[in-house]
Amino acid sequence: MAEELDLLLQPGRFEKFKIQTRKDFELAGASHHLPYLETTTLAELENEFYKAVLKLEVTNTLSNVLYRVDITEMQISEAVRKFPEESFQKILAQLMIKRILQKVVLKDFYSN
């Protein structure tokens, strides 16, 4: 996740990440479970996404958010196999952060 931290630290990137996260959660019908995005470290951000995943599981909106963020079953299976010591929810949180960040980076790349 060090690579993601470097990308998030680029000027304006974290603001765009927050906007994209809000958009994905709202369009998935889960805006009330949006992670707290005023964190200062990547570890805190991961923890906030982890807590959001737990809430999404309880309300049965997790699949909507995963679909909206664009995380495939194959990506999930591969990550679970690659990191068997991690909890399923933590893996999902990390995948969500990574994919949302990818969206932001791609938008920046193609808008310039």
Q: Is residue 50 part of a domain?
A: yes
User: Does 42 have pLDDT greater than 90?
Assistant: no
The per-residue pLDDT for range 15-32, each reduced to its tens digit, is: 999 999 999 999 999 999
Tell whether 109 is covered by a domain. Answer: yes
The answer to whether residue 27 sits within a structural domain is no
Q: What's at 82, amino acid-wise?
A: K
Euclidean distance between CA atoms 7 and 59, whole angstroms: 31
Q: What is the predicted pLDDT for the residue at 98?
A: 93
CA distance 72 to 55: 20
Do 28 and 64 contact (CB within 8 A), yes or no?
Answer: yes
Total structural domains within the chain = 1
DSSP track, 57-92: HHTT-HHHHHHHHT--HHHHHHHHHH-TTS-HHHHH
The confidence score (pLDDT) of residue 2 equals: 62
Q: Which domain holds residue 51?
A: 38-112
Per-residue pLDDT tens for 57-76?
A: 888 899 999 999 999 999 99
